[in-house]
Structure 1
Amino acid sequence: MENILRTPEERFENLPGYNFKPNYQEVAPALRMHYLDEGKKENPTVLLLHGEPTWSYLYRKMIPGLSDHFRVVAPDLIGFGKSDKPADRATYSYQKHLDWLTALILNLGLTEILLFGQDWGGLTGLRLVAQMPDRFSMIIASNTTLPTGSVPMPESFMNWRAYSQHSETFEIGKIIDTGTSTDLSDDVRAGYNAPFPTEAHKAGARVFPVLVPIDPEDPEAANNRKAWNVLQQWEKPFLTVFGSEDTIMKGAEKAFQNSVPGAQGQAHKILKAGHFIQEDQGEALAEIILEFYQSNTPVR
């Protein structure tokens, strides 16, 4: 694989709230994925999957509260955060992201996983569940969907898709700020900008929106329909936690609640938050994850 970029480490120095030890796994030849691995290894595993165009920095408010009870694994998708960034957009595909995450899960030997997936963290995480359901014990879907092209995407998404392809600057920190219900400080915006010192580093972030299957004839739409078939048989615990001010994902939680058997009787939440719910309600989300786990785990 040629022209792989690696963000200089000094870009990540002194980020507010992000003092976690870096870990790396090779998930393809000469391709290194960064991940956080906090808490005791013997604890139950929570897998925190981020989306577009964020990185594990998004989970900095949640990890301290979770790591007292769980092993918390929070990877940076390839093209994001401290992970390697192929500069060629053609390197990225929906399936490649799944392959890279699968390699991480297998390399770390993760089992009995509680998945928290937001945005593309759901598009990837729910496909991983369908691919290897025995490795997952519980699921939380947050401001996400599993599109099959059968329902038109909202205008707000199509506008975002166009912006991602044509914006001259594509400033990541500004994008995150517009997707939150709270105003981000300059330091936090800089934290989201940190992985992307040049336009070339943004290839993965730029291409992600056009990988979302919006046409039923897209092969990934067909693969997502197969994943829905698995979810429609999923009886393990399934929770939705969505943001009230997320215009793109508003109402998407209903599809999960109506279709997934394991979602029945769960304490689904709508929080006062935008699309990047972890930024707006990180500490509350950590508490919700713990409550969800405890309420669905038999006392031994």
Structure 2
Amino acid sequence: MQVLQTPDHQFEHLPEYPFAPHYAPVASNLQMHYVDEGSPNAEVVLLLHGEPSWSFLYRKMIPVITKAGYRAIAPDLIGFGKSDKPANIQDYSYKRHLDWMQAFIDHLGLNNITLFCQDWGGLLGLRMVAENSDKFKRVVASNTFLPTGDIKMPESFVQWKQFSQTVPEFPVGNIIQKATTTELSSDIVAAYNAPFPDESYKAGARVFPALVPDSPTSPESEANRNAWKVLSQWTKPFLTCFGDADPITKGADKFFQQMIPGTKGQAHTTVAGGGHFIQEDRGEELGKIVVEFIKANK
């Protein structure tokens, strides 16, 4: 496996991102970068990003969470951010991402976790919850889902998948901008492009849409069905917090509320002005929602 590492100079002068880097081994030849802020003895809030972002997406939420007395951990998925990047598309699979995330959680010895997951952060995080129920205490799902391929994917996803696999240059910063409701400054767009000096670094980012289970026989479809069996019995606190301007996951919050017992009685929120990358549009507000959710569900 050929592994690329983004040069450190790519991350110089990142706006609003003062966090010290940390690294965890998740395979014999792969290191996962993560942000780890707050007291090491505090209760953990695990923040999982999706496609094609990285922990920079959580820079507005992290200070709100740590100021409230919690420990915020935001890893960069393998292939993203400051984490190692296998160079070949064939090196990535849904299962491998799950194995890498499992190794990360085990390496840090995380327990009593409050999960916040968005986009692919949910496809990975909700599987982690189902397969490590004892390690998770609460869940906040935002603009995400756990697909099995049994429900037809919307046309918007079909088009996105085709675009991602065929576009000659995968425009990461532009993708983020198009899926937010706010106008991003040039330095913010540059920060999303920073992990990818050229196209050779983008195999992980490019392949992600092709790994989504979009037919009943997709790899991991059956495993996701099994995860839903666990989630349908999940009675621990589960909050949905979706943006009102995200056409990609619209309606998934209602599905979670119907299927997961832990959603009952929770203060589910639709965030005004929240696009797909809701952390970019309403980060501070999301941080407060997470903090209030934890306090309300001691």
Fold shared, TM-score > 0.5 on shorter chain: yes
Q: Partner residue of 2:278?
A: 277
**1:47 and 2:62 are equivalent in the alignment:** no
- Give the letter for the 2:289 counterpart: I
1:113 matched to 2:91? The reply is no
Q: Count residues in correspondence.
A: 296
Quote the Cα distance in structure 1 between the aligned partners of 2:106 and 2:199.
Answer: 32
TM-score between both structures, scaled by the size of structure 2: 0.98
Find the residue that maps to 2:79 and give its secondary structure. Answer: coil
Which amino acid in the other structure matches residue 53 of structure 2?
A: T
**Alpha-carbon displacement from aligned partner over 1:66-106 (angstroms, at most 9, x marks no partner):** 11221111000000000000001111010101111111111
Q: Could you tell me how far apart the structure 2 residues matched to 1:145 and 1:21 are?
A: 31
1:288 has 2:283 as partner: no
AA of the residue aligned to 1:51: G
Shift of 1:148: 0.9
1:70-85 correspondence to structure 2 within 5 Å: 70-85=70-85
Looking at structure 2, the residues matched to 248 and 30 of structure 1 have their Cα atoms a distance apart, in angstroms, of 35
Residue in 1 aligned with 2:250? 250
| TM-score, length of structure 1 as denominator length | 0.98
Which digits, 9 at most, give the CA deviation of each residue in 1:109-134, with x for residues without a partner? 10000000000000000000111100
Which residue matches 1:15?
14
2:219 matched residue in structure 1? 219
Post-superposition shift, 1:221? Answer: 1.0
- Using the TM superposition, give the Cα deviation of residue 30 of structure 1 relative to its aligned residue in structure 2, in angstroms: 1.4
Q: Distance in 1 between matches of 2:221 and 2:253?
A: 19
Q: What's 1:231 paired with?
A: 231
Tell me the CA shift for residue 215 of structure 1. 0.3
Describe how 1:1-300 pairs up with structure 2 within 5 A.
2-68=1-67, 69-272=69-272, 273-297=274-298
DSSP-derived class of the 1:144 partner: coil
The letter of the residue matching 1:283 is: E
Deviation at 1:218, TM superposition (A): 1.5
The root-mean-square deviation of aligned C-alpha atoms, in Å, is: 0.6
CA distance in 1, matches of 2:79, 2:51: 10
Q: 1:167 Cα shift?
A: 1.1
Which amino acid in the other structure matches residue 14 of structure 2?
A: L
C-alpha displacement at 1:219, in angstroms? Answer: 3.2
1:254 aligns to what SS in structure 2?
helix
Separation in 1, partners of 2:174, 2:198: 16
Distance in 2, Cα, partners of 1:170 & 1:64: 31
How far is the alpha carbon of 1:137 from its aligned partner? 0.1
Point out where structure 1 has 5 or more consecutive residues left out of the alignment: none
2 CA distance for matches of 1:185 and 1:106? Answer: 37
Q: State the shift of 1:157 in Å.
A: 1.0
| Structure 2 Cα separation of the partners of residues 111 and 125 of structure 1 | 14
**Structure 1: distance between partners of 2:135 and 2:156:** 35
Moved over 2 A (4+): none
Return the offset for 1:210: 0.4
> Take 2:230 and 2:90, find their aligned partners in 1: how far apart are those partners?
29
State how far apart, in whole Å, the 2-side matches of 1:56 and 1:107 are.
19
The separation in 2 between residues aligned to 1:247 and 1:162, in whole angstroms, is 18
